[in-house]
Chain A
Amino acid sequence: MNSLYLFLFPLALSGMAYLSGKKAALQQILALAGLLGSGALLYLANSRGLSDQQVNYPWITSLGIHFSLEINGLNFWFLALNALVCFIALFYHINQASKNLRPDVVVLIFGVQAILNGVFMAQDLMLFYFLFEASILPVYFISSRYGSPAAERATLKFFLYTLFGSLFMLLAILYLYAKSGANDFLFSSLFADNLPAETQGWLFLAFFLAFAIKMPLFPFHSWQADAYAESPVESTILMSGILLKMGIYGMLAIVLPHFPQGVTDYGHIFMGLSAFGVVYGALIAMVQYDFRRVLAFSSLSHVGLIGCGILAYSDVALEGVILQMFAHGVNIAGLFVVSELIASGAGTRDLDQMGGLSRQSFGLTVFFFIFLLGSIAVPLTNGFPGEFQLLMGLFGYNIYLGIFCGLTVIFSSVYMIRLFQKSMLGLETDGRAAFPKLNASQTFSLFLLAALVLGLGLYPQVISRISNSAVQVLLRAY
């Protein structure tokens, strides 16, 4: 039953947030409750055995669509990350806007959490599709209602782009439905038999496109930098921290186990492209002057590596995929929070207009540096075990590809250090920057993330112990 609770719980909080209105203290309690409650549900689910947590209700009976959810080793860490990232976005919003709190943003972020929990847990392909589509809406509302006109345009682009990609997925789902002859959309029915090799190719392409746009992988990324840079930071945190993980999840849960022939036929093309994206994103990040755009392109680079790792059908790389998925969510959420605190203090996001900020806020500098270390995968941070195994898997798949992707080890240090030095070090610029000290709730949420950066770097087994077997099953088809 925990899977159902995990879906309904954020919805309930969403309703309560609506009722709480502009009372920041109450909203803050709700945000904490969301994190702790989801964490508790996941913990209990794991200790009682994940296989006992599924629910399956007929939903739209006339169409054979089921409301079918389960928690398993594969989606476990996606769910955990979801709770964490939504909490960070919520806390940031409530804390930052305490005088001008917008209850609808809180309502919408809880909505995102519920919908994404649904996406990760769905065992009915139609339900998956429906929630996959719906997930973008709350973010779109936040951006369009509270962002600049540029933000609305950017998010609309994201929205239409992913809608376009998902259309092919819908067609593919309908085809699978017709083909299977079953009267429902459950994974277990649609993928009951191995699919014929000749149809796997285009099914792979259809699903892949939808997921690749969401992640995004090169060359489907043109919505990304604008959307990350222009949106209110709450949306950016959600998009980079957790929304893109839907793409990764889809690849793992649907594409990899069910279209092995498609992966074999076309995978290497997209591996090449996303490997190119790894270096491409890193290079572009080196010459950006907007703080957030640096992070956006760094994300393109990191996620490209994850994409490569998924398609390499390597047992080593897949372990890295899960670790890096979680690490990326933690680090990028932390970095975007930091970037916004810096931008609001410095009054600009232009790196050339910053400098010397480290002397203004010790706490912020330390947190920024810890996230930086995680992001460039220094050992004993969360980025390292994932990146190590990803690169090793890729290296085993193809030496040259592995070395090429390995360039990220060098380039990431270039752009992240540049980012840090230009903003935090050097001389102060004309005394414009005035940082308030980090308050208790800011410190708390950044501390939580930083503790994860270091803790998971020291003991990544926490993650792999739960996901290990589920991940290795994915390669059965090969």
Chain B
Amino acid sequence: MEKWIALIPAMPFIGFLINGLGVKKISKPVAGAVGVACSLAAFLLALLVLFQFKSEDGKPVSTELWNWISNPRFNIGFSFQLDQLTLVMLMVVTGVGFLIHIFSLGYMHEDEGFGKFFAFLNLFLFSMLILVLGGNLLMTFIGWEGVGLCSFLLIGFWNKNKAYNEAAKKAFVMNRIGDLGFLIGIFLLLYRFGSVEYSVLVENLSLVAAVNDPYLVWAGFCLFVGAMGKSAQLPLFTWLPDAMAGPTPVSALIHAATMVTSGIYLVIRMNALYSAIPFVQEIILWVGLATALLGALIGTSQNDIKKVLAYSTVSQLGFMFVALGVGAYTAALFHVITHAFFKALLFLGAGSVIHGLHEEQDIRNMGGLKKYLPITYGTFFVANLAIAGIPPFSGFFSKDEILAHTYAANKAAYIFLAIIAGITAFYMFRLFFLVFYGEYRGKLSSGKIHESPGSMFIPLIILAVLSTIGGLIGIPPVFHAPHLLADFLSPVLEPGSRLVTNFNLGHSLSHTDEWMVMGISVIISLLGIAVAWLMYISKKTVPSFEAPSGILHRLTEGKFFLDEIYDWVVVKPVNLIAGLFSVLVDLLMVNLIVEGIGMMSRGLSMGLRTSQGGRVSGYLFIMFFSILIFAVYFLVSGI
């Protein structure tokens, strides 16, 4: 079984090599076939490994290919590890990844960079697989930086456009800020435990005797900073909306379903650490909550179809971090899974709309698309019900689990979160109504609007099915059915939950509370949808093109001006300092001191110099060779 593990990431890497090296020579159909085949191969291998793993005893399988970095203090292996958490991520990554590869066949068909696109997409899949398969923190870090790099390449895919390039750079740099945190977290753990191999870490962490050991608090916090960058949490989230510059399948795969959930994966992976540091969990809870709120608020007044979805992703990731913050790791992973289904579906649906409308992205220029794009409409509706949390669609189960755990742990946070869930339903249906209902407001003649080809709508249908039934893997305990995901995942979470029990930090929820939470969340979601209905169907409101009035609206429409604030607080000062260093310090101070000393001696030697004439280089040339000759002479005579 070990031998299969390394093959999984190898598959997309082969695809990357073929399409990357042959980018000029390979025709579009071949490039597409290679890209899709390699992602399919990874998916099939992952399935194979899943079944083999189930038939064995369920213990983590690990394999070290070679010793990667060695040092008197530690050895870090190039190692892979496979356990239940990895398997779940593998299925999501390769499964959704494969569907999005297929979708891209149609979506990117006209693009001149077709082969390049599939090469990058495969490289991304490779990095993401390394991330989830890595057997130690540094292996995960390889994938971590790798996906950031691919994100950079794919955001700036249409690199003639300067704004897109800026967005790509912003994403990479913001991710690197997080990566520095990740690295420092690795340093701390490596100094403390002498290894960052997950198995060793878990073993050591389960012996932790005290809650909130300051050393571990810092380590956990630094790793979380890394997660903030990758998973777009406050304050490092502003890159994600800009990342929508990339082709839409990229937004679906990287910026919704997989890469941005790496931060959640990391925290779940380190659950033994976080369970021992409730202080950091508290931080995670509030950061997640604030991000969820901010993303949802901004989402209510964006008019670019992809931007709405981007802020919704930010907000949903916030939900997942809230779950992590209250120690509900299963709920977080559950939401990762369902979110991967319905958000990928939403993005692909958006892609289908954009494709059908010939690159139109502004929802003010849409409307009434229901009759032109029936399949897109139907699947989009399913995804909307899922994200709004309407039973029995998948999002209901995962979101409800998060809400229930939050209720048990922290009532104040719960109230906020429930309200955010309502806002979510509102802005998603605002989008939905504005795009698909009412009259068409755009300029295209109706004959030109077309439904997408099969390669595009088949993935939509599959994802719609998954978004509908995906919730069944995590049925709440009140229904007395097995929670499949929780049962499957329990070995991974066991070290953390043991600590929680030891430290007596657990929460519990009665059945009546659970029913109440469930009821409230459904009511709130329906309320959100109803408001959207009133505004955009009954009153037929269309967002105006003019700048909004009203403080809250202006704030949300302007994205709380965070970009501007960062620009003034960070970017401009750094550039100013750089400019000062460059001109004032380097040229005028450091250089002039040296030149001054040089000038003095030059004045002294002026007399000597004039008597000689000639170029300095000529003399040195002669000097050099005469010295060389002497040297050789001495050497020879010496022997």
Contact = CB atoms under 8 A, between A and B. Distances in A.
A138 interface: yes
Contacts of B193: none
A137 B138 CA distance: 44
Contacts of B184: 395, 402-403, 406
B69 interface: yes
Contacts of A225: 586
Interface string A44-61: 000000000000011111
Contacts of B183: 388, 391, 406, 409
A225 B586 CA distance: 10
B176 A413 contact: yes
B581 A426 contact: no
Given A57-B638, A287-B575, A460-B69, 18 more contacts: A59-B638, A61-B638, A137-B624, A286-B575, A288-B582, A362-B23, A388-B138, A406-B183, A409-B179, A410-B177, A413-B173, A413-B176, A417-B169, A421-B156, A425-B160, A459-B66, A464-B71, A472-B72
A67 interface: yes
Q: Choose among A144, A287, A378, A468 the residue with the greatest number of B CB atoms under 10 Å from its CB.
A: A287
25 contacts: A60-B638, A130-B631, A141-B621, A141-B624, A160-B598, A221-B590, A223-B594, A284-B581, A284-B586, A287-B578, A315-B72, A319-B71, A358-B159, A378-B149, A379-B141, A380-B142, A380-B146, A388-B183, A389-B71, A392-B187, A392-B190, A403-B180, A461-B67, A461-B70, A468-B72
Interface in B185-231: 187, 190-191
Contacts of B141: 379
Top 9 A-B residue pairs of the complex, sorted by shortest distance between their CB atoms = A144-B617, A283-B578, A425-B159, A379-B142, A222-B591, A137-B624, A284-B582, A287-B578, A409-B180
B574 interface: yes
Interface string A357-387: 0100010000000000100001110000100
Interface in B98-142: 138, 141-142
Contacts of A316: 71-73
A396 B159 contact: no
Given A283-B577, A283-B578, A389-B71, A145 B617 contact: yes
A221 to B, nearest CB: 7
Contact of B169 (A219, A319, A362, A418): A418
A255 B118 CA distance: 52
Interface in A423-446: 425-427
B167 to A, nearest CB: 11
A388 B594 CA distance: 34
B169 A421 contact: yes
B639 A283 contact: no
A356 interface: yes
Contact of B71 (A315, A358, A373, A380): A315
**A-side binding surface: helix, strand, loop or mixed?**
helix
Interface in A320-335: none
A161 interface: yes
B243 to A, nearest CB: 15
Interface of B: 23-24, 66-73, 78, 138, 141-142, 145-146, 149, 152, 156, 159-160, 162, 165, 169, 172-173, 176-177, 179-180, 183-184, 187, 190-191, 574-575, 577-579, 581-582, 585-586, 590-591, 593-595, 598, 615-617, 620-621, 623-624, 627-628, 631, 634-635, 638-639
Interface in A209-253: 219, 221-223, 225
Contacts of A156: 616
Contacts of A464: 70-71
B180 A407 contact: yes
Given A134-B627, A288-B582, A140 B620 contact: yes
Contacts of B627: 134
A222 B621 contact: no
Nearest to A144: B617
B496 to A, nearest CB: 27
B215 to A, nearest CB: 11
A466 interface: no
Contacts of A340: none
Given A57-B635, A283-B578, A284-B581, A137 B598 contact: no
A23 interface: no
Contacts of B616: 144, 156
Contacts of B146: 378-380
Contacts of B628: 134
Contact of B594 (A222, A284, A414): A222
A198 B324 CA distance: 58
A140 B581 CA distance: 29
Q: Choose among A59, A130, A392, A458 the residue with the greatest number of B CB atoms under 10 Å from its CB.
A: A392
Q: Choose among A134, A221, A403, A417 the residue with the greatest number of B CB atoms under 10 Å from its CB.
A: A417
A410 B160 contact: no
A76 to B, nearest CB: 17
Nearest to A373: B149
Given A287-B579, A362-B24, A380-B142, A396 B67 contact: no
Given A156-B616, A221-B590, A284-B582, A425 B71 contact: no
Nearest to A131: B631
A286 B578 contact: yes
B99 to A, nearest CB: 28
B159 to A, nearest CB: 4
A266 interface: no
